Structure 1
Amino acid sequence: MPRGPQLTEQERGKILAYREAGMSCRMISSLIGRSKTVVNNFLNNPKSYGKLKPTGRKKSIAEEKVERLILSESTKGLSASHLKVVANLNVSVRRVQQLIRNFRHPATQVPRSTAIRPNLKNTQAINEVEDENVEVS
């Protein structure tokens, strides 16, 4: 079954009030019209209800450490193997090379909207070329 909508602030308040009054999860769920599972999940940890857990694999190296690595590489001119030893990294030399090659400083990045030009159909491209070649009199 798909997930239902999250509990509103009003429903959360009602659940907490009913629970303090000594009602069971089943009774609370019938009063507010929600499943006993959602009521029970909310009561298990009300502060973290509705917050997403971080997904995906964790980064092997923090972004700040990568920036320091790039800075030391550019100023001292060290090789990837020397950088790995100096920075005491738990990654391979190849990964250090990849980090150096792929690093783009946020201040120098071009926004995606200006970097990507939309695909034009052949007729649109021809019309643009013709418009550029027309002399203005």
Structure 2
Amino acid sequence: MPRNTRLTTLEKGQILVHHSNCISLSAIARELGRSRTVVTNFLRDQKRYNRKNAGGKPPKLTEADKRRILREGSNGDLGSAGIVKALQLSVKARRVRQVLAAAEHLRYKQIARTPAMREHNEKSRLKWAMTRMVWSNAKWSQIVWSDEKKFSLDGLDGWRINGMT
């Protein structure tokens, strides 16, 4: 925090004029009633003078990286770890999930987990389908599908007659 007030626009202009006229820094400081250090600091970096430094560690993700994450995430093909790998990011998958969660136009939807189809399972399914491919409508109508009928193997089916307990 500065000990004194910051330089005004007028004082900055006076410092620049005096400095261009080759007046010493000490003389400029005496003329303005300011310290030699503030004059030196202003002349050293005029563009950054009087701007606050946010401090702290700079973020690992740039705005461009965040846009790339959102673009890749909106495709819906990859999870957060896949996005990190695909974009070769220097952050963890958790940070990618945070960026995606912060996006208002995206909503999280967990990918349904399914077991991997093994080769012998695929062949047996194909064989099963091929044998039934030639079935007639009459044959298919004989099949009772499990979602069409409620089977109660242990007694009551949940219905009861009025007055009976």
- Give the TM-score normalised by the residue count of structure 1: 0.60
Q: What is the count of residue pairs matched by the alignment?
A: 106
Residue in 1 aligned with 2:66?
Answer: 66
Identify if the C-alpha distance between structure 1 residues 14 and 99 changes in structure 2 by more than 3 Å, giving closer, same or farther: closer
| Coordinate RMSD, CA, aligned | 2.7
Identify if the C-alpha distance between structure 1 residues 21 and 65 changes in structure 2 by more than 3 Å, giving closer, same or farther: closer
| 1:48 alignment partner, SS class | coil
Q: C-alpha deviations, 1:47-73, integer Å up to 9, x for none?
A: 432233343322222234334323433
Counterpart residue identity of residue 50, structure 1 = N
Identity %: 31
Residues 27-38 of structure 1: pairs in structure 2 closer than 5 A: 27-38=27-38
Aligned-pair CA distance for 1:33: 1.0
Residue in 2 aligned with 1:103?
Answer: 102
In structure 1, stretches of 5+ residues that fail to align are 109-137
Which has the higher relative contact order, 1 or 2, with Cα contacts under 8 A spaced 6 or more apart?
1
Aligned equivalents of 2:43, 2:95: Cα separation in 1 = 45
Aligned equivalents of 2:2, 2:46: Cα separation in 1 = 22
The answer to whether 1:77 aligns with 2:50 is no
Aligned-pair CA distance for 1:95: 2.9
Higher helix share: 1
Identify if the C-alpha distance between structure 1 residues 103 and 28 changes in structure 2 by more than 3 Å, giving closer, same or farther: same
| 1:58 alignment partner, SS class | coil
- Give the TM-score normalised by the residue count of structure 2: 0.52
| Higher radius of gyration, 1 or 2 | 2
